[in-house]
Amino acid sequence: MRAYLRLVRLLRPYRGVMATSILFRVFNALATTLSLTLVQPFTRLLFTATTAGAATPRDEPIGGPLATHGLLAAPLGAWNLWLFGATPIVSFERLCAAILVLFLVKNLTDYLAVFLSVQAEQSAMRDLRGRVYAHLQQLSLRFYHGSRAGTLISRLTNDVDALRDSLASGVGDVLKDGLTLIGCLVVALSASWRLTLFAMLVVPPAGIALTVAGQKMRRRSGRAQEHMAELTTVLQENINGVRVVKAFGMERYEESRFDRANAAYRNAYVRLRGIAIALKPFAEFVTILVAVAIAWAGAREIFVHRGMPPERFFQFVTALLAMISPIKGLSEVNSKVAAGLGAADRIFGLLDTAPDIGDRPSAATLAPLAHAIRYEGVGFAYDEHEPVLHDVTFEVKRGEVVALVGASGAGKSTTLDLLARFYDPSAGRITFDGVDLREVTVASLRRQLGIVTQETILFHDTVRANVAYGLDGVPDAELEAATRAAHAHEFVARLPRGYDTVIGDRGVRLSGGERQRLAIARALLRNPPVLLLDEATSSLDTESERLVQDALERLMRQRTVLVIAHRLSTVQHANRICVFEAGRIVQQGTHAELLADAGAYRRLYDLQFRD
Ligand code: ADP
């Protein structure tokens, strides 16, 4: 219920539109009800004309007025005044006019009501998608690692759709079907309350019997499908494993396995058809049973009690038939609303996930790096039981290049991610000139960082937009300078539309080296004082490798750099190397110092860097 209220609250900004839509629905139900009241005068005119036709001259008024009574006294009275007392032809012309006008109003109001509610719903869903998307931007990498992309996409698409359906059913359909049902009931009651009560006794059991039979058939059909799936699996396994089956001489065994599944499917299908074949005659018989029962009760009202004119009986039957559609609609509301509430729970669950990396209320703006970045006894775990970093302590002075080396999985990338505050350490702290990173705003921290990873992410957009990502109004000259420095200008200039060529997933395909150089150009243009770099391990051809290498060296110049090193030249030129092993720094020093020592670095050097 809470979730549903929260859902309905989404519509609040559009309550004006919703109220108008509801107004049209009320008019719609009124028009439907009034159109039902026309049945009485219609049959009255028809029967009087045929029974009295020979005797009544064509220009004499026919029939007496309708008996007006009860709930419908007002509309019936109006029809009396307007329809009767004229010649038969004029009466029918007026009747036709009334039918046309009422159905015009009915359909027009239906259109307007639905169209307006679609607008309100879609606006509310647009707002919801926007809120979820904005919230997703706030959530940390930890959240994304714990979620599957497909699941998140489904929240924004399928779940929002299910939710819209339940809003439509919950608010719109209940109102529409409910009002129409009430209208029909009023018409039926006013025709004959005794017959209406009688119908209420016989119709529901028949409806329940038909529903139960339908459900039973659906269950059996589901079971038959399972048996068919089983049969297919046996066949598929047999085809895939044909070598094994033959090699082990298992043909007869496989045949008996198939026979079992085959027989099970046959039996399930016979049981399904047993119900399916019975369903239609059963439904027809039940319907006729109800119809005969009502006709019998109606006949008693007409002939035995002598009270009811036949036109009122027709009125009653029409109203009864008109109830079928709203009743069907209302019986489906429940399942739709339930599906929508499930979706609402999932969407609101996502919206209620608090971002775990954010600014503290007291967070200050981080000043440009003046002295050093320090990792002080940093520990970290992706999930509590498996720590991946232990007591990591090292320093990067301003302008230094510090290389992180170690086997894959040793914790190097995690160490860099902590500096960007993709995660926060679970022990120790990281400081910028002595200030704990958690004391400053995330935005001011990330403004100082440039991050170039192995995976170069390009968006489906122009080269210009990709290189200038996150920057506004970059002059062409600057853009070109950065691209030139990254050795990317030459190939960009050769693209069909130069800097305006669309690249990325669905755009022009670039080679691995070209993508890397664009990523370097992007970092150069941002010109960050601190650089987090993950050198690519994927092999490029020699020419491309040389260009990337040169571009990287330009990028590292004059900056404070933490680099996950895979190249010999990088480690040779680094001011310091931190050697990682299973989440710990086991050695620190320059290339020469570490080589002199017969430790972890020597082994790594022999494996990774030499040759
Ligand atoms: P390196 O960069 O040295 O290869 P990483 O920092 O990527 O090492 O990984 C360190 C350890 O953390 C590894 O054991 C890895 O399996 C684990 N790890 C990395 N990313 C995640 C993650 N998102 N969730 C859980 N464990 C992770």
168-213 confidence digits (pLDDT tens)? 767 778 888 899 999 999 988 888 888 899 998 988 888 888 888 8
Model pLDDT, residue 69: 63
Percent of the chain's residues with pLDDT above 90: 44
Mark residue 381 as left, alpha or beta (left: phi above 0; alpha: psi -120 to 50; beta: remaining).
Answer: beta
Containing 532, the helix (H) or strand (E) segment is strand 530-534
- How remote is the CA of residue 424 from the centroid of ligand 1, in Å? 15
Pocket of ligand 1 (CB under 6 A): 145, 382, 388, 406, 408-414
- How remote is the CA of residue 281 from the centroid of ligand 1, in Å? 66
Contacting residues for 351 by C-beta, under 8 A, at least 6 apart: 131, 132, 135
Ligand 1, residues 148, 380, 382, 405: which to mutate, most atoms within 8 A of Cβ? 382
| SS3 at position 373 | strand
pLDDT tens per residue, range 233-286:
999 989 989 999 999 999 999 999 999 999 999 999 999 998 889 888 998 999
Q: Where are the beta strands (DSSP E) in 350-455?
A: 372-381, 387-397, 401-406, 427-432, 435-436, 449-452
- How remote is the CA of residue 293 from the centroid of ligand 1, in Å? 75
Whole-angstrom distance between the N-terminal and C-terminal Cα of the chain? 68
Confidence class for position 574, pLDDT limits 50, 70, 90: very high
Which residue type sits at 298?
A: G
Mean pLDDT of the chain: 87
Residue 504 and residue 533 in contact, taking contact as beta carbons nearer than 8 Å = no
Which whole number is the average pLDDT over 319-348?
Answer: 86
- How remote is the CA of residue 381 from the centroid of ligand 1, in Å? 9
User: Measured from the CA of 417, which atom of ligand 1 is nearest?
Assistant: 6
User: Measured from the CA of 564, which atom of ligand 1 is nearest?
Assistant: 2
Model pLDDT, residue 400: 94
Which whole number is the average pLDDT over 573-587?
Answer: 94
Which whole number is the average pLDDT over 568-589?
Answer: 92
Give yes or no for residue 60 having a pLDDT over 60. no
Select, from the ranges 307-316, 392-401, 599-608, the one with the highest average predicted confidence (pLDDT): 392-401
Give the separation between CA 392 and CA 413, rounded to whole angstroms: 13
Give yes or no for residue 54 having a pLDDT over 60. no
Give the separation between CA 375 and CA 97, rounded to whole angstroms: 87
Model pLDDT, residue 55: 45
User: Measured from the CA of 415, which atom of ligand 1 is nearest?
Assistant: 6
Strand order in the sheet with 387-397: 387-397, 372-381, 427-432, 435-436
- Give 499's DSSP letter: G
**Among 180-194, 394-408, 538-552, the least confident range:** 538-552
pLDDT tens per residue, range 437-480:
999 999 999 999 999 887 778 888 899 999 999 888 889 899 99
Alpha helices in 300-410 (DSSP H): 310-351
pLDDT tens per residue, range 74-84:
777 777 777 77
pLDDT tens per residue, range 121-156:
899 999 999 999 999 999 988 888 888 888 888 888
Beta bridge partners of 580: 406, 585
Model pLDDT, residue 53: 46
- How remote is the CA of residue 535 from the centroid of ligand 1, in Å? 17
- How remote is the CA of residue 409 from the centroid of ligand 1, in Å? 5
Give the separation between CA 339 and CA 50, rounded to whole angstroms: 54
* Residue among 195, 181, 585 nearest 395 (CA): 585
- How remote is the CA of residue 415 from the centroid of ligand 1, in Å? 10
Structure tokens at 11: 């519509």
Rounded to a whole number of angstroms, the CA Rg of the chain reads: 39
Q: Hunting for tokens 């020093």 — which residue is that?
A: 589
Give the separation between CA 378 and CA 371, rounded to whole angstroms: 20
Give the separation between CA 185 and CA 491, rounded to whole angstroms: 76
Contacting residues for 600 by C-beta, under 8 A, at least 6 apart: 579, 581, 586, 587
Confidence class for position 56, pLDDT limits 50, 70, 90: very low
Give the separation between CA 412 and CA 296, rounded to whole angstroms: 87
Residue 431 and residue 373 in contact, taking contact as beta carbons nearer than 8 Å = yes
- How remote is the CA of residue 583 from the centroid of ligand 1, in Å? 9
Give yes or no for residue 12 having a pLDDT over 50. yes
**Among protein residues, the one whose CA lies closest to atom 27 of ligand 1:** 382
**Among protein residues, the one whose CA lies closest to atom 21 of ligand 1:** 382
CA 79, distance to chain mean position in Å, is 52
- How remote is the CA of residue 189 from the centroid of ligand 1, in Å? 73
What's the angle, vertex CA 131, arms to CA 113 and CA 336, rounded to 5? 45
- CA 351 to each of CA 129, 270, 354: distance values in angstroms, whole numbers, following the listed order: 11, 49, 8
Which whole number is the average pLDDT over 295-315?
Answer: 83
Which whole number is the average pLDDT over 540-547?
Answer: 80
Ligand 1, residues 414, 426, 584: which to mutate, most atoms within 8 A of Cβ? 414
User: Measured from the CA of 413, which atom of ligand 1 is nearest?
Assistant: 2
User: Measured from the CA of 408, which atom of ligand 1 is nearest?
Assistant: 4
Give the separation between CA 487 and CA 468, rounded to whole angstroms: 16
DSSP string for residues in 129-144: HHHHHHHHHHS-HHHH
pLDDT tens per residue, range 71-111:
777 777 777 777 776 777 888 888 899 999 999 999 999 99
| Dihedral of alpha carbons 527, 528, 530, 532, sign | negative
Model pLDDT, residue 327: 87
Which whole number is the average pLDDT over 504-529?
Answer: 86
Ligand 1, residues 140, 143, 388: which to mutate, most atoms within 8 A of Cβ? 388
* Residue among 325, 318, 42, 302 nearest 187 (CA): 318
Beta bridge partners of 396: 373
Which residue type sits at 100?
A: L
